[in-house]
Structure 1
């Protein structure tokens, strides 16, 4: 049986991708999130946004941003941090 990782575990794994500049693994994690969940946690979305923005994957960042039901200060900071 498969144990679904929680939002905290996912956000930590994605943060590691940000720190290691590993877009490929981050995209893989994102694909699994989309496959297995209906709703994505705001913290997870913010880390995804940061990953995509910092790696120059602006189209992916836009998709994450557009799909967010809530945006906060962290969201906006992730967008402007690469300027």
Structure 2
């Protein structure tokens, strides 16, 4: 579930990178950095998902990542609305 949410955010970021909308200076690079971070999180989650049932710390961390991913999704939605 969490990995799917991060993948969804990655798709939104990829879409923003492909769009040719005018963005403030440095925003494109910030979006690229966000994409790299999300990709790293997704890769870690893929591995952690197999251990979450036996490790309460991993499970708690994954719940926090899920919350952050929802926040990222909301911010990306707001950004898209502002630039269009």
Which range, TM-score by smaller chain?
0.3 to 0.5
Ranked by relative contact order (alpha carbons within 8 Å, sequence separation 6 or more), the top structure is 2
Structure whose residues are more often helix by fraction: 2
Q: TM-score, normalised by structure 1?
A: 0.33
Q: TM-score, normalised by structure 2?
A: 0.32
